[in-house]
Amino acid sequence: MSVPLTRAVGTRTRSEQLLERAKRSVAGGDSSTMRVLPYHPALLIDRGKGCHIWDVDGNDYIDLNMAYGPLLFGHRPSFVIEQVVHQLQEKGSQLGFPQELNFLVAEKVKQLFPSIDLLRFANSGTEAVASSIRLARAFTGRRNIILFEGHYHGWSDTVFHKYHAAETLGDEAFRPVIPGTEGMNGAPHDAFVVRWNDAAALSSALDRMRGSVAAVLMEPVMGNAGVIPPLPGYLAAVRELTRAHGALLILDEVITGMRVAAGGAQQLFAVTPDLTVLSKALGAGFPIAAFGGSAEIMDLVASGRMFHGGVYAGNAMVLSAANAVLTKVLAERSRLYSELNTRVSQLADGIKGILRRRNVHHVVQHVGPMIAMILTKTPVDSLVDYHQVRRHADFERFIELQHALLDNGVYIHPNQYEPMYLSTAHSKEDIDEVLSRLDETVQHWQR
């Protein structure tokens, strides 16, 4: 059943008015470019609860973005809020000293990720990735890193490159990266990009760069250009190749960690990395990340040979949130992920049925409770790499559908690179409602 929103034709919403005001003091109107893209409808959110968000005009939306993935338990989960409030009221948010929560949370992470002997906390995935690359270079004594088309590892000079959002891609086996924005002075340095899901391409790159590659860094599931899973045997091949060439394998599990499975993609696909980066679901919306690996590698950090620091890294407030998340995941993981997978299958199957029935070309792919709905220009069975995403995806048509769906009270991000994320707060009835509104939206949008 559709929900009429409080938008009158020819009038400016309060969201539009306040975002215009914001531009007079905040560059672009917000502190993240992804939240104020030119094609994003003017939307200023007032609050969230469970799987719903409300804008400043009072409109209610079912949220399928979950703050870009961190909200595994929905907006404002009570068990997280209680722990954070207790920490703030009884102990403090920032103590400036070692604290018990620091190792209690680390011990819980290690239970979920056996590849990690030691770890360090950071404030964001961007920071943790940059530190893991520095660590790989320090440990191996090598300079070069290999990245992949379509993968995103944050905005630092270490890794930010144009092959995450490039419209034209070469056919070379590998090539130097192109700086991702102005002001990078040629960075990333000593970084090369390879096509993902192609073990032969990686093998060729490692052969041609023999003895110089410090690390191969990847998302184990491509989550920043559609939800593209690794092909059968691909991750195992990558693991074998990196070991043979003496390069570290770094899995960026910022998105997949504790989302596609309790132990992330490395549990789901049975691959053991040298270093792991975690964030998003770890903090239930609080700004926390971690990077870790074997005791041998992490000894460079422990001994101070490789510096890592940060005033807010591992602060008490975010650790209390992470402690609550990890405690619940460890206690309820079997039931929790079974229910999440049931809901995502319901959503994915429902979307496929609607778009097929309405003759809309599409690919719907999901790994655990993250899902991509890609509208395509022609019929396509699946998407396995970034080249295929760029070739087949119909971005303009997706934006049109997102705008129409927003008017029907369902929020997905207008960039179809961004996955939809489900949470434990999404019930069967919520998914039924989403599918009902999508069906109605597509029917009227096509006229």
3-state secondary structure 266-302: HHHCCCCCCEEEECHHHHCCCCCEEEEECHHHHHHHH
Known catalytic membership, residue 198: no
Fold assignment, 14-76+332-445: Aspartate Aminotransferase, domain 1 (3.90.1150)
Distance, CA of 99 to CA of 318 (rounded, Å): 13
Q: Catalytic pick from 163, 280, 337, 411?
A: 280
Kindly tell me if the per-residue pLDDT of 173 is higher than 70: no
Distance, CA of 254 to CA of 260 (rounded, Å): 11
Q: What are the residue boundaries of the structural domains of the chain, listed by start?
A: 14-76+332-445, 78-330
Q: Hey, what are 356's tokens?
A: 């097929």
- How many Cα atoms sit within 13 Å of 42 on the Cβ side? 18
Query: What is the residue-averaged pLDDT of the chain?
Result: 93
* Lowest-confidence region among 3-17, 23-37, 98-112, 193-207: 3-17
N-to-C CA span, the chain: 19
- In the 3-class helix/strand/coil scheme, how is 172-235 assigned residue by residue? CCEEECCECCCCCCCCCCCEEEECCCCHHHHHHHHHHCCCCEEEEEECCCECCCCCECCCCCHH
Distance, CA of 117 to CA of 141 (rounded, Å): 21
Q: Catalytic pick from 152, 234, 386, 411?
A: 152
Please give the pLDDT value at position 166: 54
Beta bridge partners of 291: 120, 277
C-alpha dihedral, 440 to 44 to 424 to 254, nearest 10°: 120
Q: Catalytic pick from 55, 198, 252, 407?
A: 252
pLDDT tens per residue, range 366-417: 999 999 999 999 999 999 999 899 999 999 999 999 999 999 999 999 999 8
Question: What value does the mean pLDDT take over residues 70-96?
Answer: 96
Please give the pLDDT value at position 176: 85
Please give the pLDDT value at position 35: 85
375's enclosing H/E stretch is strand 370-375
SS3 helix, strand, coil % of the chain, rounded to 5?
A: 40, 15, 40
Q: pLDDT grade, residue 436 (50/70/90)?
A: very high
DSSP letter, residue 162: G
Q: Hey, what are 345's tokens?
A: 């299958």
pLDDT tens per residue, range 299-353: 999 999 999 999 999 999 999 999 999 999 999 999 999 999 999 999 999 999 9
Known catalytic membership, residue 152: yes
Q: Positive or negative, the Cα torsion across 319, 320, 323, 324? A: negative
pLDDT tens per residue, range 353-368: 999 999 999 999 999 9
φ/ψ (deg, to 5) at 214: -80, -40
Question: What value does the mean pLDDT take over residues 101-113?
Answer: 98
pTM above 0.75, yes or no: yes
Q: Positive or negative, the Cα torsion across 164, 169, 174, 178? A: negative
- Does CATH place domain 78-330 in 3.40.640.10? yes
